[in-house]
Amino acid sequence: MNNNGIRVLLIEDNPGDARLIREMLTDAKSVPFILEWRGRLSEGLQKLTQDGADVVLLDLELPDSQGLDTYANLHSQFSGVPIVVLSGLPDESLAVKAVSDGAQDYLVKGQIDGKLLARSIRYAIERKKSEDELRDANTKLRNLYINLQSAREEERTNIAREIHDELGQIMTAIKMDIAWLKVKYCDNKEISEKASSTLNLIDATIKSIKKICTELRPDILEHLGLGAAIQWQAEEFQNRTGIMCEVTVQEGTVVGSDRSIALFRIFQEALTNVLRHANATQVIANLKAGNGKVILEISDNGKGITEEEISKPDSFGLLGMQERVYPWKGSVNISGSTDRGTRIEVVLPVEETRSL
Ligand SMILES: Nc1ncnc2c1ncn2[C@@H]1O[C@H](COP(=O)(O)OP(=O)(O)OP(=O)(O)O)[C@@H](O)[C@H]1O
Ligand SMILES: [Mg+2]
């Protein structure tokens, strides 16, 4: 909208209809409208490229384009401009389809007057503005989440490295000193025994350091890849919980480092959920790749997740799974059936292929 009024581009091949609409908008007293008229879609597109518009009134049946394709074509090239479809057809299902594809309104030519048209145009502009703001806010939140996750991963890697290098080295040095004392005072039973028990404590501490580091960021993921990391995690889960966890990894494919960490964290969350909620005795996971995608399936034989639980707004674990694959346009499908378990399928497009 400029100071003189709302700029409306009418794309309509029937001069009679165009004249009628011009009259309607001239009669509408609420706000001034500046109307431009084009008779073909190609001319309308050209006008939009040159000068833009605040709103487009679009007839779907034009000499160079027909039906919803007319809308789709315009919308794909000028997604920022609100479009009100003006049709000769009172076709309810076409109207619903147009609106669900993003049209702001669907008006039937014989059923409108100036007031209605003016109101529809003004609402279309306002609604489009709110939609765009909402989409922007959504994109920002998503980016923030992605950023937070990668900062978190980076932090975990750094902490794991620091603990491993700093504490690991100190513990090794202490171990050597105590071993030296043990040899030096081998004829003193009391000191020798104390040194032995201290050595055992040091070994336990070194083990515990390794465990903490692995939990923060499994080395195996970097060194042996996603398949090995998932197999290791499954084994660890089985030993810790007693829930059988069987993993099949298809030979010979994919997965770069960022995607690997995303899939690995999803797998960890799925296992945590099995332990906390499923009441299952068995988990079966399958990692395969092909046709430019990696697919990770995780199924359990527990009580089965419900539709309600899947769509709860505070199911942050499940939401996190979706967000983890969002940067690559991946998808997470979750389904469950009562007492027949829960199944999670993650599909992640990949570009490069490397060994799992
Ligand atoms: N494998 C499963 N079997 C049965 N129910 C499940 C399973 N996984 C998830 N659920 C249900 O779905 C809900 C949402 O899971 P989600 O992981 O999002 O949240 P949470 O595990 O409760 O909490 P957190 O945010 O710590 O992950 C769970 O509370 C549980 O009721
Ligand atoms: Mg959870």
pLDDT in tens, 58-72: 999 999 999 999 999
Nearest residue CA, atom 6 of ligand 1?
Answer: 305
Residue 108 CA to residue 215 CA, distance in Å, equals 62
pLDDT of residue 76: 95
pLDDT tier, 292 (very low <50, low <70, confident <90, very high otherwise): confident
Amino acid at 342: T
Q: Say what the pLDDT of residue 298 is.
A: 98
Residue 351, pLDDT score: 72
| Domain range list for the chain | 6-112, 146-216, 219-349
Q: Which ligand is nearest to the CA of 308?
A: 1
CA distance 227 to 237: 15
Name residue 71's amino acid.
Answer: Y
Among the four given CATH numbers 3.10.50.40, 2.60.40.10, 3.30.420.40, 3.40.50.2300, the one describing domain 6-112: 3.40.50.2300
pLDDT at 1 over 70: no
Average pLDDT, whole number, for the chain? 92
Ligand 1 site: residues with CB under 6 angstroms?
Answer: 273-274, 276-278, 300, 302-303, 305, 309, 315-318, 342
Q: What atom in ligand 1 is closest to the CA of residue 302?
A: 3
Q: Hey, which residues does 59 pair with through a beta bridge?
A: 86
- pLDDT score, position 260: 92
Position 297 scores a pLDDT of 98
C-alpha neighbours within 13 Å on the C-beta side of residue 231: 11
Q: Which atom of ligand 1 is closest in space to residue 310's alpha carbon?
A: 12
pLDDT over threshold 90, residue 282: yes
What does the pLDDT read at residue 220?
86
Tokens 């296992």, residue located: 271
Give the confidence band of 352 by pLDDT, cuts at 50, 70, 90: low
176-180, 240-244, 342-346, 348-352: which has the minimum mean pLDDT? 348-352
pLDDT of residue 148: 92
- Which tops the pLDDT comparison, 1 or 154? 154
CA angle 222, 228, 234 (to 5 degrees): 120
Q: How far is the CA of 339 from the centre of ligand 1 (A)?
A: 15
Instruction: Give the C-alpha separation, 144 to 151, whole Å.
Output: 10
Residue 180 has pLDDT above 80, yes or no: yes
Amino acid at 239: N
- Give CA–CA dist 80/125, Å, rounded: 10
Nearest-atom index, ligand 1, CA of 303? 4
Residue with CA closest to ligand 1 atom 5 = 305
The domain made up of 219-349 is a member of CATH 3.30.565.10: yes
Residue 225 has pLDDT above 50, yes or no: yes
Q: Which residue has the higher pLDDT, 356 or 325?
A: 325
Neighbouring CB atoms inside 10 A of 344's CB total 24
Reply yes or no on whether the pLDDT at 253 is more than 90. no
pLDDT given at position 291: 84
Bridge partner residues of 290 (DSSP): 293
Q: What is the pLDDT of residue 199?
A: 95
Res. 28: pLDDT tops 90: no
Residue 136 has pLDDT above 80, yes or no: yes
